[in-house]
Amino acid sequence: MVDLVTAAALLLLVAGVVGSVVPLVPAGPLSAAGVIVYYVLAPPSAPALGVGWLVLFVLVGLIAFAVEHLGGAIASKVGGAETTTMVIAGVASLALLFVLGPLGIVVGTGLAVFGAELYAGKEPAAAARAAGYTLAGLLASSVAQLALTLSILAGFVAVVFLL
């Protein structure tokens, strides 16, 4: 039983790490689910994962989820983009994901922000800056999400197997 529960938890944690670089996979929630599965289903004979670790790992998973969904939007606002532009960029990137794959997210988001900002009457330099900030935030949020989900996996392994 311990091995099955541990394997399921590790599988979810690894899926969270992989999901941080694969579009549309909820990496943070998968990582948090792995920790929760172990905490709830591991028998008393299994290495203990205290409630403090559970709360910490779930909190980091929620932060990873927030970073995934808010990173590009926050960066675009910092770059001067309109709120409507963020919505247009989200729809365009999702639609182009199915046409061009992950590259569609990057290309679609950048072009959508640039085009929407031009349409809103901004100068080309301001539109390019907003698009650049958005893309930087989008890519940075992916890196941050990867670091966060890796930290959950590493922390879980350290707490359960090494401490």
Q: Return the C-alpha torsion angle 155, 29, 66, 57, nearest 10.
A: -20
Question: Contact at 8 Å (CB) between 135 and 106?
Answer: yes
How many domains is the chain partitioned into structurally?
Answer: 1
Q: Angle 149-38-46 (CA atoms, 0-180°, nearest 5)?
A: 125
Q: Where does the pLDDT of residue 16 fall: very low under 50, low under 70, confident under 90, or very high at 90 and above? A: very high
pLDDT mean over 132-157: 94
Please write the tens of the pLDDT for every residue from 103-114: 888 888 899 999
Tell me the whole-structure pTM to 2 decimals: 0.85
Please determine, for residue 1, whether its predicted confidence score (pLDDT) is greater than 60.
Answer: no
> Residue 16 is part of which domain span?
2-162
What DSSP assignment string belongs to 37-68?
Answer: HHHHHS-TTSPP--HHHHHHHHHHHHHHHHHH
Instruction: Indicate the residue type of 55.
Output: V
What pLDDT sits at residue 90? 79
The distance between the two most distant Cα atoms of the chain, rounded to a whole number of Å, is 65
